[in-house]
Amino acid sequence: MVVYAENTCDGTLAGWLSFTATLKSIDKSYKHSIRPEILDSWVRCRQARVNPNDDGVHHQLDQYSLRAVLRENQELITIAKPFMDNLYQIVAGSGFVVVLTDIRGYIMEILGDKDTLKNPMTVSFFQGANWSEKEAGTNAIGTALVTRKPIQVSGSEHYCRKHHCLTCSAAPILDEKGKVLGILDVSGKSTAAHLHTLGMVVAATEAIMAQLAIRRKNNELRVMNSRLTNIFNTMSDGVIMIDNNGVISELNPVAKKILGFGPTKFETKQPLQVESIFGAQSTIIRRIITCKESCADIEIMLDTNCGLSHYLATGEPVADEQGVVTGGVIILRPMKQIQNLVNRFSGHYGTLKFSDIIGESKAILEAVRIASLAATCISSVLLQGESGTGKEIFAQAIHNRSDRSAGPFIAVNCGAIPRELIGSELFGYEDGAFTGAKRGGKPGKFELACGGTLFLDEIGDMPLEQQVALLRVLQERKVNRIGSDKVIPVDVRVICATNKSLLKEVEKGTFRKDLYYRLNVIAITIPPLRERSEDIVPLFNYFLDRLDKHGRNFRVSPAVIERIVQYDWPGNVRELQNVVERIVSLTEGEMVNLINLPKEICTWQPTNPTSPNPDNGNGFYPARHVVEVCRGREGRRFLLEENERQEILSLLSAHRGNVSLTARTMGVSRNTLYRKMKQYAIYN
């Protein structure tokens, strides 16, 4: 028979000494009958100065705090309540109470007979009462909170005398990480103590924990399902879900739009088979569910409400745990989106605008005016001009001002592609179309430029046999890849450029007349640089500022200005830009002199040279005259001043008297320039 030591500690030092002496007086066999967990609890209670003789009611929560505890533990209470009811049905009428506490030992729920709840023996069991060890001494609830293990405490095992009449069986409710969520307890008369009571409590807590785990998993699945649904509904690609019979079961909003079902939920009275959507191309889709095969980036054409549309299809089978295919998922990506993505990372977009065209001459302003008007329509544009005049700048400017500016800008130099390859470059080819063809085929420039602009430079050099195909594409707005009978619609604006006279090429029979008239809807002639000499200095200064990466603020001698204005620039703007780049790279210091110009410009002589003389009153002095006048220190000073005077006069002339531009070119302030103009008697 188990005998328990009577707890005689009254909370005073004398009581503690008496209590310790009592333990020491117990013989070895009697001492070993006290369970270690009970003895450890007694020690904790003593260290916490719990009064074993206190007969008062336990500390309880006020109504506000109790409501907060119940609200915080609502999920646990909801799940535990049915299991508490089952336990109560077993102990009903026996004087036992079923109790649920929070992690601090406060009672949240209690079930018991009416007379039991009023019984002095169980009077401390009520909502809000605290049953922690620090408040109630050794008891099943408080000790289970500390040990995190099921425990039964009966009779004199309780630290406080007022609880010696009780037997309590409690078990902790743990989460998946082992954290205590609460305590389930069954308490009653100590004379009715039975080990099976603890077993019932443990079984109930395990059922509660299992239910909590199920609810947690359900919540996780609910959140995951919500996320997947959001992804499904917000994907930019069309998603089609089919069952194992090939019946379409679900469509996301993009797929509904592609297939013309509208924004409402996908519903049909009759099952919609995959063949009704994909037609002859559904064989690939069927293989997903019949052969458990995946497919990736298969090109298909769908007849939608917007006409024939080009898509890339990717399919994946869906299988259950046994590996049996239960359906499949098909993703449709508009080919236009793929092409835009490729163009974006391939640099196929226009960056230049009309503001990048430098010049104030009448000829260039007229060309810009016509090009600006052409940007607002979709007609074909033919840019004519010598090499280096800036035809691609005009093409990009037209594209960027048009409503196609968000689309790709793809430039093709028809004269740089071998005759036998130009067709495949423009129109694309299918897998195996010819020896050396890329596996899987390749889209042509017309397809890549869909939604944007295709710039065909040097159109006059296109082979005659390809001009027929180009004319057909321009008329029908459709292309056939080489080696394929599939028709692909294209939405492309074509801008062509040439440095030849296409009419002369038509007369020679090297360019088709019908193609010429198809391209020559809006013709824009870009003048050569020699015909707009007033734009040379502004262009020179523009390139000088843009290419000067070190901020040297170059000053240009009047002789250089005179030379570049007289030069005829056979390479046009491109040659001028290259000359300025050479100057920036090779000039030492900040002054640009004749020695910094290329030899061909320095030695070039105009057909009708007009050299100014010393007394012609135009303010310019030829270099030879200046050298003859300058002698000694005064001569050198005069030379410097005269050079500066000539520079100011030259720049004012080049900038049409604009003092601000002249000062900026010289790298001085306007006030400084006005002072020097007064010094040299220059009147603007």
How far apart CA 569 and CA 277 sit, in angstroms, is: 62
Residue 184's φ and ψ, nearest 5 degrees, are -105, 130
Looking up residue 514, the CATH number of its domain turns out to be: 3.40.50.300
- What amino acid occupies position 207? A
pLDDT of amino acid 626: 34
pLDDT of amino acid 45: 94
- Quick one: 520 and 373 in the same domain? yes
Count: domains in the chain: 5
Tell me if 16 is assigned to some domain. Answer: no
- Quick one: 595 and 489 in the same domain? no
- Quick one: 580 and 438 in the same domain? no
Computed over its alpha carbons, how large is the radius of gyration of the chain? 47
Q: Which of 335, 336, 299 is nearest to 314 (CA)?
A: 299
How far apart CA 52 and CA 147 sit, in angstroms, is: 21
User: Other CB atoms closer than 10 Å to residue 50's CB: what's the count?
Assistant: 22
- In the chain, which stretches have pLDDT less than 70? 1-32, 116-122, 262-270, 280-281, 304-307, 339-348, 432-440, 606-642, 683-684
Q: Containing domain of residue 656, as a range? A: 613-684
- Quick one: 288 and 359 in the same domain? no
Q: Which residues contact 212 (CB under 8 A, 6 or more apart)?
A: 75, 76, 79, 173, 175, 181
Looking up residue 247, the CATH number of its domain turns out to be: 3.30.450.20
Using alpha carbons only, what angle is made at residue 131 by residues 125 and 134, rounded to the nearest 5 degrees? Answer: 150
Beta bridge partner(s), residue 183: 101, 172
pLDDT of amino acid 30: 44
- Quick one: 461 and 515 in the same domain? yes
Tell me if 15 is assigned to some domain. Answer: no
User: Other CB atoms closer than 10 Å to residue 268's CB: what's the count?
Assistant: 9
pLDDT of amino acid 642: 66
- Quick one: 558 and 645 in the same domain? no
- Quick one: 41 and 124 in the same domain? yes
- Quick one: 469 and 519 in the same domain? yes
Looking up residue 104, the CATH number of its domain turns out to be: 3.30.450.40
